[in-house]
Each structure stands twice: as C-alpha cells, then as structure tokens.
Structure 1
C-alpha cells in the first residue's frame, strides 16, 4: 500500500468507501427475504462491487488529472520561478485547485524574492566579513609591529635597529617606504645619520616653512618626540598615504620616541654605572656595602684582596664573617676596637698582622641613605694608612734624630766655649788648641748634617749637579780611603785590589768619592770587631762594578729591601756605636741613579755585607764624552 500512486489511492477511496453501506443494506434485505440463499448473496455483492467501481473510477480520474496538472505547475514554478504566470486546469477541476495554485505561486514568488534578498545579503555580509578580516589582519600586523617597540629591549640590536625593522615590516604590509632620520645628538649613539637627505626632508616639516621650500610637499614628515624633545623624523617621499597609514605612523613615532628616550636613559645609566664601578674598582681603599640583612651587596677588588677571598664569592657574605676574618688577624686590644666598629658608626684605627709585617688600617663605618634620607644599608671603607703611619713615624723619628744629632755637637761646642771663656781660670795654649780642634770637628759634623739635608733635597727635586769627566776607578777609591778621618779609620784594615788598568768611568769624581766614603764609614761604624774591608772592581761591556765588602754586623734579609730608603735605620737590637741620620745610603743611591748606574747589597747577619756600585764606562768619541 505504501508504494501505490496517488491515482490508486484516490480510486480506492472513491470505489471502496461507497461499497460498505451498499453491502450492508443488501445483506439486510437478503437476510429478511424468505428465499435466502448463498448464491443470491454472492451475486448481490459482486453486482454492488462492480457498480461501485464504475461510480468511483471517473471522479478519481478527474481529480488525479487535476492533481497531476498542479504538480507539473509546481515543478515548473520551482524550476522557472517568476517567469511562470498562470496555470490552466480542466473545466471539471474544483475551484480549490485554482486558489491553491494562485496562493502557491504567490508563496513561491515571495520565497524566491526572499532567497534573492538572502543571497544578496549573504554576499554583502561575506564582503563585509572579508573587509573586516583584512582590516583586522592589518591591525594585527600593525599591533605586532608596535609590540616590538613597547616590548622591553636588550642592548642588542638597539632602538634604532628595532625601529628600522618595524618600518621594513610596515613596508611589507602597506607598500609605503618610510625612512628613519635621527637628530645629531642621538645619531652617533643609536643609528646612522644622512645629513643632506635629512635636511631636505625636515626643512619642510613645519607648515610655516613649507611655502619656502620647493620640495616641501614631496615629503610626509612625522616627528619622533618624547615630551618636548625631538629625536628624529619619519619621512615618506613621493608616496600617497591613507588616513590609516598616517595614524599608524603617528602611533609608531610616539612609541619610537619613548623607546629612544628609554634607551638613551638606559645607556646613560649604564655609562654612569660603568664609570662609578670603574672609580670604585680603581680606588686603593677597600669598599664594602652591607644591606639591611647584614649581607654584602657590593665589594670592590681591594676588599676581596684584603679578605683573601675570590671576588665572585664576596657577594652574599655576612657582615659577621667579614669582621671575624679581620679579627683573626688583630691583637687583643684591636679586637675591642673592631667589635665596637660592628656596633657603632665612626672612624677606627687598628693594625692587621701578616706574619712579620703589619698593615695599618683606618675603618670608616657610615650609614648609606637613599631618597628621603631613608637608610638602605651600611658602608665600610677600609683604608690602608700604612704609608701615612710610616710618614708620621718618620716625622717623629726625624725630629728625634735631628734633635739628637744636633744636640751632641752643639752641647760639646757650648761646653768647650764656656770652658775657654771662664775668667777664673787660665788655660795654656795647648789645651785651648785642643778645645778649638774639638769645636772645629763638631762644626764639621753639623756641616755634614746640613750637607746631607741639602743633598737629599736636591735628589728629591732631581736637581743634583754632576761635574762629569773620565776618571780612573782606582783614583776614586784611593781618594775615598785617604779622606777618612785618621782617628776614625785607625783601627780598620782596608785592602783595595782595584787595578789601574780598568777602563775609565764617566762621572763626578767628588760625588763618587762621597758614595765610597759613606760605604767605608758604614763598614767601620757598624762593626763589633776589628774592621776588615776589601775593595774590588770588575768590568763588563757597559759598567764598572766596584764592591765594598766588610766583616761587620750584617743586615737581616727582611731589611735588605729598605736600607736605601731615607731615614731608615736598621734596628739590630743592640746599642748602636754611633748615631746616624738614615740618609747616607739614600744619598748614595740618588747619586748613583743620577749617573745612570745602580747600587745593590748582599748581606748575612753576623757575617758582613757587600755593597756593589755599578757605574757606566767612559766611551770617547772624537774628544767628546758621551754617556752610554
């Protein structure tokens, strides 16, 4: 039944439905008849069925034809649309089909119109979506370009290069070529500078100047500013710009101004930091900064050396550790000082022991304040004042030495003069001569001290005068021996093996004799037994080496590096046989240095010393003397 056509359904409906009442009536009549039989009933049913079929066939056929025409019309309307106007039905077709066709045509027309409107609207929406998508894509690309500017940058590739990269990407997006020109104050720091093109483009950037410049309207110029400071310009030449492009370049120039300003500030801070770090690292003072957690946040190289700690391990050390390391090298009295320095700000002085040597330190502990005088930590400056201490000690020793050295001869002179001037006694001439001889010797001693002071002053000023000439080494040695006071050298044995055949030396014979006299005097003075002095000389290609060897008390090796320092006197632990200013060897070194020579010492405590003086040889050149 499901696969039957509409025609079959209609025919069955018109044929079968009337059968039911007919069969029902016929059956009742037959049952009531006295002559009822099965054949009569069957015949009656067949006749009724045939009659009914005949009656239903023709209406069903007409309706089927009408529906077929309606279906064909509907298909034609669907396929051709509004081109089909009316439909022609048979005369026997019901009016409802006409109304149905007309309403269907109207409905189909409206649907077709709505479909066209929807298609048009859909096309417009697709176009809008495409335009919007393109606009969003352009906006995203512009935002990606600007994001490079607002993202924190590293020192490389630098602000100018980042801006140029943004302009290159903008050219790929828009096809507009934009050039970057930086002003002179910043071009050397951040980028290149094209002066001619820059001046030509920027000269017309001001509306008031455009009329004065023939090429002013060829360019679009956007200034790169941050506040009231102009860092450069973005220049577009001979390219039309849309309003969107102009707005983007304005935004780009604003962001570029900010990034250039930040980079300049960053580089300025880096330079200032580098300068400050270089200054702190170059200082001779050890510097430490302690934060509120009492940990080291900065320490220069001097501080690492003072603590004997690797530089990279200084940061993070505790303040307690630093003071503990220092305290371990101090005496008991100085430990109390360093303990007080940990608790209170101020200036403290103490001595750090390094085996046999000492280092005098002045510690400055002070608060480190930031903005609004807010304390951010504690500063410690460890200054090595060993030289200052030695200078102060030297001044004290100098005053003591000068007082002692001048007091002895002056007292002797005063006593001798008072003795001679006594009116209550008469002295014979021999006694007076003896007294006057002593006064003369004391005056010579004072004059010798004054001459030493003058010599050391000339040496300091590098103004010592030399009367150079070729002279035999043996002559200088013999003169030095001969000028020794007889009473002073009477108990000494002096042997000289300096050969007269040695080459000449080129120098001042008086000054060189002064050097050898000082060495001989020291060899006799610092000797606890019978002095025995040996003088020898050798030569090489450039120098004559004169050596003075003695059997004196010798010098400890810890003092050998300082014996030529001024005012330095070796402390032997014994009572010195005679006084000394500590200037003799310093003067000797100054004189030999003025001759472009050298002086050295070898010594063994308790055995003796050997002082060696090296003086340049004389080399004649056509009767003239020259120093080699």
Structure 2
C-alpha cells in the first residue's frame, strides 16, 4: 500500500510539472516548437500560430519546411547542420537560422530561430527544440541606423565641402575680391557653419538622451516670440520660394525653459517646414496662450503627416516612407 501511495504521489508531481512546462511553452512570448529527429513537428505553441499563420492542429505532424517556409535565409541552415554532424554529440552546440519567413497568408516576417538538440541516453538524437523570435523591429532599427549613418555622412560632407570651397576661393592671391563678393561668400560660409552646428547639436542631444535617459536643462525666462522671429530671420536667407509670417498676440508671455534647447526645437520645425514644402508657399510661425500654458506652432503648405506617422514622430531615426522623404536628406533626429 505504501508503495502504491508513493507511486501515486510521484505520478502527481510529474503530471503537475508536465502541466507547468506545457503552460510555460504555450504562453511564451517567443515561438516554441519541438521536432523529432526527422524534423517533423511534434509541438507548436500559440506565439508560433501568430507568427506563421498556421493553426497548431494543422502544423503538428508536418515536415518543418512546410510550415517554416523561408522566402530568404540570411544565415544558418538546420539541414546542413544535421548532415555535417553538428548535432551528433551532446556538446551543447546550437544552430541559429535567420531570415524572412513566408507566412501561410503570403506575408513575410523576419525571424531568428535557435535550434537546440535533445539526446537519448544512448547518445542518439531524440528531438530538436526550436526557440523562434520575431526580429522585424530589430531589423527595421538596424536599417534605420544604417540609413542614418549614410545620411549623416552625406549631410556632414556637403557643408564642409562648401565651407572649404568658398574659404579657398577667398584666399586666392591671384584675384582681388570686391567687398560685395566677400560678403556674399562669407554669408555662405556662415550659413553652412550654422547648418553644421545644428546637425552636431542634434547628434549630441540624441547621444545624451540614449546614454543618460535625459539631458540637463538650463532654465530661465524665454520669449518664444523673440526666438521665433530670430529663427525666421535666419532661415529667410536659405530659401527664395517661401514667405514667412509671424503670428503672435501682443504681450505674448515669457515661459520657463532652456533657451538653447527651445531654439533647437524651433530651428528644426522651421527647417523641416522649408524642406518638406518643396513647391514653396507661406510658412507661418505663431503661438497662443491658454490659461497657464502656451502653444507654439509652425504651419507650412507641405503634405503633412498621416495619423500613423504622427505616432512615431518622436522615434529616433524614423523618417516617413514617402517619395518626398526619399528625395529629401534628413537624419530622423530633427
């Protein structure tokens, strides 16, 4: 009787552990599947249903390649690993496969899969456990950063080349430049220097935000209407097809803020208004008071942002995927 009771308790503990593991697998945020030694699917969790579009009852029993159908593989090959003996011994080796999955509905999804072997007591391969992760956001972030680096390189080179070119021209000893030409060339050098300063300030701000999670603000009373007027004065020399309009009520109040950062924000808004309204038109910079708060706006005749893009407007390196964005240089920081 004692042995029967012990066996019943042991069975209960084993069954409880089995149910616990099954719940963990089913509710895991990552996809989890179990394969036999012939790469047939034995287990398939809910996360994998969402990723692949396959229902568990339809996927179980099928060959792996029927369900995990790659449109493009970037790295790794499970079948090659099996053929070359990677899984022949219990040495802790895993195989990582990454690529674009062709879902059952025809859509694609970027996945990274880690395959780990499970061996019998005699050393033969029993099962393969697959941990599947959706890496679409990671891939997109990588692509955005690569585009950002390329864009920054271009945007740094352009003003540097112009500054060097105009400075070298002014230094020529074989030409006597008149005062008007010197002023014109010096104006270009100053304008491109301001452009460099703005880009570098954006990069430093983004770097500090990433490293420290915030930036130190030097607070003082700031007149936003004055900052806006100075920004319009500076940018008015950079375009011939736009007209600027200031629209602030009389006695617009000062606000507490960091003047350097607020100037950076206004410069970015006005610069974007020029950049993304290539056909010209009126750019209005204004503000209004509402109780204890003030609002500053920049309005331009450009195409604007969709609701979906507005949700991501403060995401680093993000740029709208449109014909105008592709033709217009930008870092996704300003």
Question: Which category describes the TM-score, using the shorter chain as reference length?
Answer: 0.7 to 0.9
CA RMSD of aligned residues (A): 4.0
Query: Are the equivalent residues in 1 in contact too, given 2:282–2:300 (CA < 8 A)?
Result: yes
| Larger RCO, structure (CA 8 Å, separation 6 or more) | 2
Measured after TM superposition, the shift of residue 375 of structure 1 is 1.2
Matching residue of 2:92: none
Query: Are the equivalent residues in 2 in contact too, given 1:290–1:378 (CA < 8 A)?
Result: yes
Measured after TM superposition, the shift of residue 527 of structure 1 is 0.9
Matching residue of 2:60: 317
Measured after TM superposition, the shift of residue 398 of structure 1 is 2.9
Give yes or no for the alignment of 1:427 onto 2:176.
yes
- Within the candidate set 351, 355, 368, 2:100 is matched to 351
Q: Distance in 2 between matches of 1:308 and 1:457?
A: 39
Matching residue of 1:546: 296
Query: Are the equivalent residues in 2 in contact too, given 1:532–1:551 (CA < 8 A)?
Result: yes
Q: Distance in 2 between matches of 1:480 and 1:428?
A: 30
Matches within 5 A, 1:455-474: 455-460=205-210, 461-471=212-222, 474=225
Matching residue of 1:396: 146
Give yes or no for the alignment of 1:526 onto 2:271.
no
- Within the candidate set 134, 148, 152, 1:384 is matched to 134
Measured after TM superposition, the shift of residue 277 of structure 1 is 5.7
Give yes or no for the alignment of 1:442 onto 2:192.
yes
Query: Are the equivalent residues in 1 in contact too, given 2:113–2:130 (CA < 8 A)?
Result: yes
Matching residue of 1:481: 232
Q: Distance in 1 between matches of 2:186 and 2:295?
A: 41
Give yes or no for the alignment of 1:305 onto 2:56.
no
What is the CA deviation profile of residues 508-553 of structure 1, one whole-angstrom value per residue up to 9, with x for unaligned ones? Answer: 3442232122112111111132222334545556643433332113
- SS of equivalent residue, structure 1 residue 372: coil
Q: Quick one: structure 1 residues 509 and 272, their matched pair in 2 at CA, closer, same or farther if it must change by over 3 Å?
A: farther
Query: Are the equivalent residues in 1 in contact too, given 2:116–2:129 (CA < 8 A)?
Result: yes
Higher helix proportion (structure 1 or 2): 1
- Within the candidate set 120, 123, 129, 1:370 is matched to 120
Query: Are the equivalent residues in 2 in contact too, given 1:420–1:427 (CA < 8 A)?
Result: no
Q: Quick one: structure 1 residues 316 and 408, their matched pair in 2 at CA, closer, same or farther if it must change by over 3 Å?
A: closer
TM-score calculated relative to the size of structure 1: 0.43
- SS of equivalent residue, structure 1 residue 350: strand
Q: Quick one: structure 1 residues 382 and 576, their matched pair in 2 at CA, closer, same or farther if it must change by over 3 Å?
A: closer
Measured after TM superposition, the shift of residue 560 of structure 1 is 3.6
Q: Quick one: structure 1 residues 293 and 437, their matched pair in 2 at CA, closer, same or farther if it must change by over 3 Å?
A: closer
Matching residue of 2:88: none
- SS of equivalent residue, structure 1 residue 303: helix
Q: Distance in 2 between matches of 1:508 and 1:373?
A: 67
- SS of equivalent residue, structure 2 residue 191: helix
- SS of equivalent residue, structure 1 residue 371: coil
Matching residue of 1:35: none
Q: Distance in 1 between matches of 2:150 and 2:193?
A: 20
Residues paired across the two proteins, number: 318
Q: Quick one: structure 1 residues 278 and 538, their matched pair in 2 at CA, closer, same or farther if it must change by over 3 Å?
A: farther
Runs ≥4 in structure 1, deviation > 6 angstroms? 353-357
Measured after TM superposition, the shift of residue 303 of structure 1 is 1.6
Matching residue of 2:85: none
Measured after TM superposition, the shift of residue 583 of structure 1 is 0.9
TM-score calculated relative to the size of structure 2: 0.74
Measured after TM superposition, the shift of residue 564 of structure 1 is 2.5
Give yes or no for the alignment of 1:150 onto 2:36.
no
Q: Which runs of 5+ in 2 are unaligned?
A: 83-94
Matching residue of 2:330: 580
